[in-house]
Amino acid sequence: MLKIGKMTVDYEVNPLGIDAVHPALSWQLCSEQSAQMQTAYRILVALSPDQLDRDIGECWDSGKVLSGESQHRIYEGQTLRSGTRYYWKVKVWDKENRESDWSDAGWWETGLLSPDDWKAKWITAPFLPDPEPEPDLLRDLPVIWDSETLSNEDKSSSRKYFRLSLQLDGELPSEAKLQVYATDSLYIHVNGEDEGLYYPYMQAATLDIAELLRDGHNLIACAADGEHPGFIAALSLRYRDGRATVQTTESNWKCFDRSEQDWTSPDMDDSHWRAPESIGRFGHDSWSVYKRILYPVNKAYGPCPRFRATFRVDKPVNRARLYISALGLYQGYLNGRKIGNDVFAPGWTDYRKRIPYQTYDLTSAVQEGDNALEAIVGSGWYAGNLGICGPYHYGRKVGLRAQLLLEYGDRTQELIFTDRDWQTAESPIVAADMYMGETYDARMINASLEWQDSFLHEELPGVVMTARQGPPIRQMEEIVPKSIVRLDSRTFVVDMGQNLVGWIHLKVEGAESGERIRIRYAERLEANGSLYRANLRTAKQTDVYIAAGGEGEEIYEPSFTYHGFQYVEIDGYPGELTTDRITGIVVHSAADETMEIQTSNPSVNQLLNNIRWSQKGNFFGIPLDCPQRDERLGWLGDAHAFARTATYNMNAAGFYAKWLTDIRDAQAEDGAIPDIAPFVEHFGYGNVFFADGGVILPWIMYQVYGDARFIEANYDMMARWIEWMVKDSDERLIRKSESFGDHLSHGADTPPALINAAFFAYSVQLMAKMALIIDKRSESANYVELFDKLKMSFQNRFIRADGTIESETQTAYVLALKIGLLPESLIPLALGRLLHDIRERDWHLTTGFMGVSYVLSELAERGETDTAYRLLLQDTFPSWLYSVRNGATTIWERWDGWTDDKGFQDPEMNSFNHYALGSVGEWIYRFVAGIDLQEGKAGYRAFKIEPRPGGGFTSASCKYETLYGTVVSSWTIENGVFSLHAEVPTNTEALIVLPKSGNGFVVGSGKYDFKVTGWA
């Protein structure tokens, strides 16, 4: 007989505050009998547990449904009401038609389904600054460069150095803004303080440097890379009495062609430096096209306001629900206690389209008598810096919207909601930004606050409020430091032993009131033991704690910033910093982890651990590219390359469902899909591989989870994308828009046009499959016809007369084989040329992001498993295990992030926590462990276990938690015997394929052991 286990609603157990009007109900099954299957089910949904106990489903009684499906059963009952809890249970029948007991009751609760349900107003604080865009001070200025530039210089030797000295005697300016533009990367220092690496993307930026200036001699020092010459700067100073001055690169700047000791110091003698020469005029001729970041890019938002309302409860409360959101990020408190476990709520969406909210059950937290509901709000993604584009992308002032519904025992209700009557004051969070860091003044905790009336918010970017989607971001783990090194009496460098994402929990004792403790984060160390921070670019990743002082222990954790780091420098710490005074806090989206694996190869085990840590660190509400530098964006290309691996490591269905909504929101009116989502201005649309993620991701999610809603919800977006590509092509179906090449490939250049053509065909191929799945047969046939034309176009353009593919790169051959772009007669040649290139490169890869996730699978599926293993186990550069051999604890962005001979790569793009190259995890799970989908079947109701031992592995043990339950594949090779232990969840079946034994056989649920003798 079957028993019902875990029950979920839209991938969650008992979700609170959802707004799906037709949620999907799912359940797992278990049975002591092998090969047991469900043949029918019945679902009841009621408004109370009592009704459910009496087997009355007044909201929905599905009746007995003859079906083996136990996942994604769509609710088809009465129209759902706002703020209502629905209770449900299910029973099933097995293959002998035996009826199970009813399951335990599950539930879901709706949020606010109609805009009319919101009585709360958006409020903001009157004391928040009202920033104005900076004027364009650079236009018409001369573009300068070193007069002694050599025409044959390469980037590594062509960096030029510029210095501007200025004397400030007496009164310092109240405002100091430095506007800069460089054609290539620009490093900026003000009085010796490093203000970061500016990676321009043809943008003029402004820095606020008032706090860095001092009485007397001052220096602005800049270094500009010279692969593309050109530098312009203007320094604007304003004084309280109205005086203003502007100093530009038109005069007073000096330049030199090499770095000198102390070149960033005001005290260095630069009399031998020379005057630069003008090479153009900014805003004219070849310098006429540029973009401007309108607000300073090097500051954190502040002050962060706190909002407060008090209310009194004089009778029993049966139910209390808080619905809350922010333009920015919020932390809520009831009677001084933090509400919920979420951080970085409400999350990142395009706030111009949708503003998410959370629902919290406060029934047990509301107390009799006086209560105080509070929230502190930070800038977050709404008003903070975003992706090298500066702050205020969605709005310039943070805001709060909240309403607390109290339902009393006498059936009366009371609503407390944000309006002008709420009070506001400055919080101890003086400033906060996700890139820059946070400054916290603990002296304000017990200070007398100046409460003011709130203002109604007037710059709303959107009006649609939606319940949060996907798993929340939370503090998930704590890490004890590996070591602490003391640099001087008050400065320490802490090694956490793991590259992670989050922050530190710091205990302080003995600090005087007003003492500043500076906390700086980095992923790596320089050779001299100092933090390597150049790869952060403009992100400062610096927190400042201002001590309250007095007796007792002070504790600090930031609230509205996060960092990617393994190393922490703590400056100004009083006393001895020991490992019991600092803890690493690991933060990421709280998706359930679903994979346990151990192999006989320690290096591969570490590689898999690195992959998991990179996924955790970059699953931050959306799939980020990296968690440390001034980017941290949802690049579609990185995400779809890694998505199959991601679904092995975590139950990522809800996570990707949310992000696909962001992608739909970001699609252009003409159908082009963006490179990143949520969309950020200054980034592109319609670029190959990245935009194709809008098609590839729904396909992967459907395959893994068997949920056709991934196709249905995104079908219109995908179809419009295909239409856009057709319009972007000539009569030969060749794309007109030239796009990216094979991003971060090494030693091989695949033509962008070839990659364009391949992924155009791949998107169309997948659309043909997905249209058929949701019964759009005529559209599927049209896509099949279009694919055939694209295949022929590819062959006509990129296959040479001798049958080889243009460029003959590994990526070119892998894509052609993967997508099926070659005539059958040329497939052996293509595979042979791919193998030849791999051998010629001494068993190393050259693929970048566009080919890396497919190369090992294509080799293994075409009988070249030994070659795939040799690539996997290669540990010299470039390879997956090279970084492992060099102490990596996460996946590097590039093969050569650090090498023995060159050290660190170009810091313009050198993340040490970037999951894309970790897409190799999929191959290990599928081919080493052997757990994989069956061809043509989705969702792991039918799957296969087919390990393919090789590479000297003697064992692999894997447990994978699917929606139906745990799949186990555990094998060993010992004394010439291959042994496999397999476990198949109830209500599923597995195709077991043993090595060297033929086609395999199908088994139902249960535990099995197999042996193959004569193993050499």
Which residues carry out catalysis? Answer: 631, 893
CB 982 within 8 A of CB 1010: yes
Structure tokens belonging to residue 30: 């278990």
Nearest CA to 763 out of 691, 829, 713 is that of: 691
Nearest CA to 454 out of 301, 308, 323, 302 is that of: 308
Structure tokens belonging to residue 340: 């919920």
The values of phi and psi at residue 785, to 5°, are -65, -40
Parallel, antiparallel, or unpaired: how do β-strands 216-224 and 244-248 relate? Answer: unpaired
User: What is the three-class DSSP state of 66?
Assistant: strand
Rounded CA separation 888/162 (Å): 36
CB 560 within 8 A of CB 918: no
- CA torsion angle for 408, 414, 418, 421 (degrees, to 10)? -120
Task: Return the exposure string of 976-1005: e unless at least 16 CB atoms fall within 10 Å of the residue's CB, then b.
Answer: eebbbebbbbbbbbbbbbbbeeeeeeebbb
CA distances from 707 to 153, 643, 660, 710 (A): 56, 16, 14, 6
Rg (CA), the chain: 30
The values of phi and psi at residue 722, to 5°, are -60, -45
At 724, the amino acid letter reads W
- CA torsion angle for 499, 501, 502, 508 (degrees, to 10)? 10
In the chain, DSSP finds a helix count (H) and a strand count (E) of: 16, 60
Sheet holding 942-945, edge to edge: 931-933, 942-945, 989-992, 1001-1003
Rounded CA separation 888/901 (Å): 17
Q: How many CB atoms lie within 10 A of CB 373?
A: 23
Q: How many CB atoms lie within 10 A of CB 1006?
A: 17
Rounded CA separation 679/681 (Å): 7
CA distances from 687 to 660, 740, 820, 876 (A): 17, 7, 22, 33
Q: How far apart are the first and last CA of the chain?
A: 43
Parallel, antiparallel, or unpaired: how do β-strands 24-30 and 317-327 relate? Answer: unpaired
Nearest CA to 570 out of 533, 542, 538 is that of: 542
